[in-house]
Amino acid sequence: MIWLLLAAVVVIGVWLLRNILPVHGLTPIRPDDLKVIARDQEDIKMLDVRDPVDYLREHENGTVNISLGRLPYLWKKELSTSEPVVILGGSSRQSKQAARFLKRVGFRQLYIIKDEPGRKNRQGQTGTTVCCSDCCR
């Protein structure tokens, strides 16, 4: 019985660490920095990993929507490992999961929009930013 409890604690600990620790090679940027990066690198892709329903409700023009669950199967159709990718997600956990997968398959230039406290999305909610436009300020 003690071994089962110990195993559960280890599994929960590993899960917590994976969600808390940063992803090596993932560069957090502010929405304003995204405009500079996009201007300097024409081949940059913006990947939205939210579910299609959330994506259709609000999204940035020019983004590619591949939900997190479909990413392992569809990334080759829309993305190339040589292109820089900005990951947009409904939460930092979603974005980190997508970044871990993309790093595993060979992506080297990965960016994530940094959370800015007090910044609001289009629904007026504060928290994780999925919108990069000036309309969300």
For the question of whether the overall pTM of this predicted structure is more than 0.75, the answer is: no
Residue 133 has pLDDT above 50, yes or no: no
- pLDDT confidence of residue 87: 93
Tokens 């090679």 belong to which residue? 25
CA distances from residue 98 to 3, 69, 120 in whole angstroms, order as listed = 33, 9, 23
Q: For 52-98, what is each residue's pLDDT tens digit?
A: 999 988 887 888 999 999 999 999 999 999 999 999 988 888 899 99
